[in-house]
Structure 1
Amino acid sequence: MRARPRRGQAYIDRQIKQMLGEMADRLEANRPGGTITVIGRHALLQATTMDPTLLPALRAKAPDIDGAIPRRQYAALLRQAADTMTPAPPVCCRKPMRLDGTQYVCDACQAFTDQAAPTRADRVTALHAAADRDYAGEAARQITDG
């Protein structure tokens, strides 16, 4: 049996930032005028991911709730938390790479990564978003056309 590959901190940070945005979207789409409590926060976290690596990191980044607050307000706090996250630089030759313009460069071997190019996860996310928009539009047409 092969060991599961470790995920780097940069990957985890990207995922957490994306999930914070997804949580905010969910709160604004479903009963934005309602309230969310501590228990609701835990349910929202678990509805977003049950991954044993990502859930604790997401829990650490998602703002805490005291009592009950409006869902729209908590969505704004989630977006603010996502906006303040800066991704960790990639690692090469066991050292963090330095940012040089739009790319990270390894001082040891001169390898580089272009940050302007989307990652595979970014491309898949964009494709899913496009499919969701297309499905929603087609579904709306089918409902209105009868």
Structure 2
Amino acid sequence: MAGLPRYLIACLDSGRLAILAIMVSGGIVLQFLACALYNNWWPMLTALMYVVLPMPLMFFAGSNSSSLMSADGDSWVNFTKFLTGVSVVGSIAIPSILKHAGIIGWGALAMELSSFFIFAVVILCFLQTNNDDDYSYF
């Protein structure tokens, strides 16, 4: 993309962020549909895990996000990784346990897991977007 003008690169990057925002909206819609279509609001417990998920990163990771991807780190970085992993596993486990207990049906479970998959893809794409060297405008 080195041969493209700067305004076109900025437009493409804005479009990439807009697509990510639309995907997040789709994940939220699936989350609500899993509850509303089956008239059972227990799957909304997963939304609690989506709220808890970024909290360890905001409180314990600090400003150096590259330390999260390395194998070595201090105890706070390891604690952050652990709490983030617990939140991710909880996002999958809550609908699975609800289905196993017979509280929700297969359709709600499929919508919950597809919502989680969409959120995971968006997060990975956003991290890739932030790691691009061409993303800086200055």
TM-score, with structure 2 as normaliser: 0.39
Would you tell me which structure has more helix in proportion to its own residues? 2
Higher relative contact order (CA 8 A, sep 6+): 2
TM-score, with structure 1 as normaliser: 0.38
Larger Cα Rg: Structure 1 or Structure 2?
A: 1
